[in-house]
Chain A
Amino acid sequence: MRALGRILALLGPFRWRIGLAVVLGALTVGGGVGLMGTAAFLIAAAALQPSIAELQVAIVGVRFFGITRGVFRYLERLVAHRVTLDLLGRLRRWFIEALEPLAPARTVELASADLHRRVVGDVESLQELFVRAVAPSVVAVVVGAAVAWLLGGLDRGLAMAFAVAFAGTAVVVTGGVSVLAAPRRGELVAARQALTSAVADALQGMPELLAFGREGVVADRVRRCSEAAERARSRAARREALGDAGVVAGTHAAVWLVLVLAIPMIGEGTITGVHLAVVCLVVMAAFEAVQPLPAAASSLGEQHAAAERVLAVLDAPAAVVDGAAGEMASEPDPSRPVLELRDVAFAHPGGSGHALDGVDLTVEHGARVAIVGPSGAGKSTLAHLLLRFWDPSSGEIALGGRPLRSWPLERLRSVVGLLPQRVDLFTGSIRDNLLLAAPRATGEQLDAAADRAGLLETVRALPDGWETWIGEQGMRLSGGQRQRLAIARLVLRDPRVVVLDEPSAGLDPATERRVVESLLGLFAGRALVVITHRLAAMELFDEIVVLDRGRIIERGSHHELLAGRGLYARLLRAEVSVWGRPHHS
């Protein structure tokens, strides 16, 4: 439960509001207790036929509780949901703050495991922690204690009996039922996974299954898995239903217990018959606070799992340490090569084997270098090392003669610019998205950058020009438009070294060549490192480096490599693809 503890700590700043929500929650149940208590008193006292004056207080009490309970419930729900919204905002900020120092290494890992959505869902589900789990538990404790104290004023034995029954019911319906239901939950998760896998096989493999005439076999598997999953679901539901049944049994058992204990007290004169009626109904009404506990327990289990998953994402050491944060701007030494890699090796944390091994590379100012090779050769990893997403496991990288590790990170990332494969857009105007690259850029500067990136025409054609809303909630830009926006960002930042990661992915051969040529022109005079597995316009590069399984196996100009008849020549031949890559559906 340590994981949940760390999430609960986030509730700290809202303690006054939380206190208010708990008090209102307790008052709501208390309103029910008061209503039933005063009503029982009213009726029992009236049965003795006193003067009506003696009943006036009880009548007012009944009316008072009759109205306040609803009002308290309303206020309690408002305050509790306000806490939920507060917590949600806090959770989001906390998560981003904690993830930020780990980026980009951690965010790249999340993206490759396709975990973004799950983690966002987990963070959001934790907002329910207070309203569904914490609040009902605290309210139950407060109500239990208050009613026991009230009963104690009448007779200590009755108070003890109530307290034991109340706490016992709470413990049994939460702890006991959780223990009983836990193994069924595991079974259910396994059955659901089997079902999803069967459905996925049947639908994704449908063409081949039909072709082999085996669709019936997989359809039977789907049916069996569906039945098994539903059986597991009913079994789990039967165990969980014990919680609600337990609340009913506990409530009335407590009333019965108090009744049996109280009857002789009337004979002994300890309490009166009026008290008996009141005590029974007060006990019954107090158990309203136990009702939400089974749901709270199962919610707490889910929250705990979510908290552990979220913290697993955050509990990683930062991949790189900013060696010179805050240092004044410095420039790469123009007399040294802009990039030098010496015997660089890298293994992804937790990965098997080296992604890069023994890589030596020198890039002069203004040189154009292409890094090519089959997918999985380590090309993108190399690009990530140049921007210090990670540090090499061994070997050294220098930028302008100065070790990469000794550069202030912010400065490094403005000297070396990256055109990523996947362009991130943010909800906001297209202007906002470009301003991210240079917050103080003027309108003319934006226009100029967009013009050079080939984006200006697109912007002018948009309904609201620069103010057009884009991103997940706005207009969808095409892949090409997104890329041009990212190029405009790079133009604005004007880095010394430009790293292009697969700039022509997903294009047909004719367009591909044009894009590479225009990028080379755009960043003329800058050192350019282009990562690509497509071999378009290779003759325009000063040096081509061929990577295979993390090692450089060939290097040279296009013509030299073609003559060498090595992997490069074979790659080029394999790529003699007549109509480009197939369409992805």
Chain B
Amino acid sequence: MHLDRRIVTLALGRRPALAGSVLAGWLGGVVTVVQAWLLARVIAEVFLAGADRAAVSGELGWLVAAIALRAGLGWTADALAASAAAGVKHEIRCRAFDAIMARGPAAAELEHTGELITVLTDGVEAIDAYVSRYLPQLAMAAVIPLTIAAVVLGRDPLSGVVLVATAPVIPLFMWLIGRIADARAKRQWLAMARMSAFFLDTIQGLTTLKLLGRSRAQLEAVDRVSRAFRSSSMAVLRIAFLSSLVLELVATLSVAVVAVEIGLRLLGGRLAFVDAFFVLLLAPELYLPMRRLGTAFHAGLAGVNAASRLGELIDAPVPARPTGDGAAMPAHPALALDEVSYAYPGGGGRDRPALDAASLEIARGETVALVGPSGSGKSTVVGLLLRFVEPDRGRVTADGVEASAIDPAAWRRRIAWLPQRPHLLAGSVRDNLLIARPDATEEQLWEALRLARADGFVAALPHRLETPVGERGGRLSGGQARRVALARAFLADRPVVVLDEPAEDLDPGLRVDLDGSLAQLLTGRSALVIAHCLSTVTAADRIVVMDGGRVVGQGSHGELLGGCELYRTLVEAHRGAP
């Protein structure tokens, strides 16, 4: 029995809808019994008592009502199950989403943001069939056959015994065959995935194949792989379909046994025709919910896998986050890291901590350039300064007050951050600016755009500030998106700036423009700049060199060229070109 504890618990939380669905389904089963009885009566009356249409008009009228009721109940059961599924999906999605947000950006990055998005959308959708089809059908496969069996036992005990004895054979055999077919089916799924990958390989590589003059030859390989897959698939299906053979055989054979058995007793006059016909009508209905369960099970299977992934996300531990004991964040703080060590949970793909007893400070009004090879710990410093992560050891301070004493939201309100690849939200340019200051006036918006040298292109957009920028800043170039993000930083107008300089090749002309804006942003503010350009590095008040999670040198350009081996090597390696 495939029952996912988490989905079932949540589904039970949706008791009214789900119970309503099962109740409607069961009532549908009861109406089926009534309808069968009415039909048996009409036929018996007409057939044996010679009644005409008028004599059975009462029953005929009730039959119409039963049919309408049965269709209506079936629809109600489906509709309620769909609404239960909607509730469960919404709840699971929100819980997983909240858990991801609570663990913060560093953890989301480690888990691969793209995969998380897929899990929260398509993954949650896969649960639908499990809740809306499998769970209610599971309940109905239990209650409806029992109800029908009870009725038949009451009218005709012998037939009832036949039905009660054969029905359990179905789940038993399905389980047995399922166990045999399961291992083979898993292997076949793998083969299917491989074959799909092979096809994708070929399509993606068609450019190369064509350039090498081998594209026609590859068709033979495609055929060969298809043939091999087909024969291995058929071998698996021959066994897998045995379960449906058993299901059909048991269902039809039992009906046949019942038919012959009641026929013979009718012949001996030991059974009334109306009861016999009634039992014959009910016998197939007893097996129907079980046959439907088989289909619903396959539809719901994907949901079980998705649920276990969502369960991992929901249950993953959330690191303790101090919310502060009310200490005030200074208005224009000097920030410092004091002997800070930090390791990402699970190592973050490395075998050493991301930061190892690193100390650095940014005095009020000072610009500090942070340099070092990739993986040296620069991004972790940013994460700590923005309080995305809390240090394992050591202290992060503002004017000497430990960060843990200050509410992270209040802390962040003093810092403007410009990441290397800014994310623009799906919405208008205005929406994206207002993120930085929700109450900004029209003048303030344009002033910020002007300072970021973005006023020109925004004014030229089809709807100016109201132009949608779409997902990932769809309509804007990389340089434009960066200028909008820069405008955000001006708009936020905060005393501390953390800046991740773009190292990608922006249009060189634009780059000169941006340098001017950045210089303006840094004036009068404290700043930490993760620098990629020598010009930025030399312009800073102080340079901090990092390597392997440690600070290996700090000072001016001249001091470091003389005193820091790493700094010198890397500057020279770059200037290798004469």
Contact = CB atoms under 8 A, between A and B. Distances in A.
Contacts of A117: 200
Contacts of A424: 201, 204-205, 207-209
Contacts of A208: 417, 419, 422-423, 435, 485
B238 A62 contact: no
Contacts of A401: none
Contact of A214 (B116, B264, B435): B435
Nearest to B44: A47
A230 B108 contact: no
Given A82-B234, A245-B74, A472-B197, A230 B120 contact: no
B505 A100 contact: no
A246 B488 CA distance: 57
A99 to B, nearest CB: 6
Nearest to A100: B215
Interface stretch (B138-146, B147-155, B370-378): B370-378
A113 interface: no
Please classify how large the interface on chain B is, using the bins under 10, 10 to 19, 20 to 34, 35 or more.
35 or more
A76 B123 CA distance: 33
A202 B101 contact: yes
A6 interface: no
Given A92-B199, A263-B52, A426 B205 contact: yes
A212 B435 contact: yes
A321 to B, nearest CB: 15
27 contacts: A39-B280, A46-B263, A65-B252, A70-B253, A78-B238, A85-B226, A103-B207, A110-B203, A120-B199, A120-B203, A208-B417, A208-B435, A213-B412, A226-B93, A241-B79, A259-B60, A266-B50, A273-B48, A276-B47, A413-B211, A424-B209, A426-B218, A437-B212, A473-B194, A535-B577, A579-B570, A582-B420
Contact of A201 (B426, B576, B577): B426
A264 B82 contact: no
Nearest to A411: B213
A195 interface: yes
Nearest to B426: A197
Contacts of B219: 93, 96-97, 100
B3 interface: no
B442 interface: no
Top 4 A-B pairs, shortest CB-CB distance: A66-B256, A273-B47, A89-B226, A424-B205
Interface in B65-96: 66-68, 70-72, 74-75, 78-79, 82-83, 85-87, 89-90, 93-94
Interface string B277-296: 10011001000000000000
B42 A259 contact: yes
A567 B505 CA distance: 13
Given A117-B200, A263-B52, A513-B576, A89 B227 contact: yes
A70 B532 contact: no
A244 B104 CA distance: 45
Given A244-B78, A253-B67, A201 B425 contact: yes
A474 B209 CA distance: 19
Interface stretch (A216-224, A390-398, A443-451): A216-224
A348 interface: no
A518 interface: no
B413 A213 contact: yes
A234 B90 CA distance: 12
A536 interface: yes
B4 to A, nearest CB: 19
Contacts of B199: 92, 120, 123-124
B578 to A, nearest CB: 6
B120 A199 contact: yes
A234 B71 contact: no
B441 interface: no
Contact of B60 (A97, A196, A197, A256): A256
B374 A580 contact: yes
Contacts of B284: 36
A206 interface: yes
A489 B277 contact: no
B274 to A, nearest CB: 9
Contact of B204 (A116, A387, A436): A116
User: Which of B100, B213, B223, B242 counts the most A-chain CB atoms under 10 A from its CB?
Assistant: B213
Interface stretch (B174-182, B324-332, B392-400, B533-541): B533-541
Interface in A231-275: 231, 233-234, 237-238, 241-242, 244-246, 248-249, 252-253, 255-256, 259-260, 263-264, 266-267, 273-274
Contacts of B505: 374-375, 533, 571, 574-575
Contact of B262 (A43, A73, A116): A43
A493 B202 CA distance: 21
Interface in B208-244: 208-219, 222-223, 226-227, 229-230, 233-234, 237-238, 241-242, 244
Contacts of A200: 117, 426, 471-472
B417 A436 contact: no
Contacts of B230: 82, 85-86, 89
A103 B75 contact: no
Contacts of B248: 69-70, 73-74
B571 interface: yes
B233 A85 contact: yes
A341 interface: no
Contact of B222 (A46, A96, A201): A96
A58 B256 CA distance: 11
Interface stretch (B265-273, B304-312, B335-343, B356-364): B265-273
A207 B43 CA distance: 73
A26 to B, nearest CB: 15
A408 B466 CA distance: 53
A355 interface: no
B46 A203 contact: no
A353 interface: no
B78 A237 contact: yes
A497 interface: no
Contacts of B435: 208-209, 212, 214
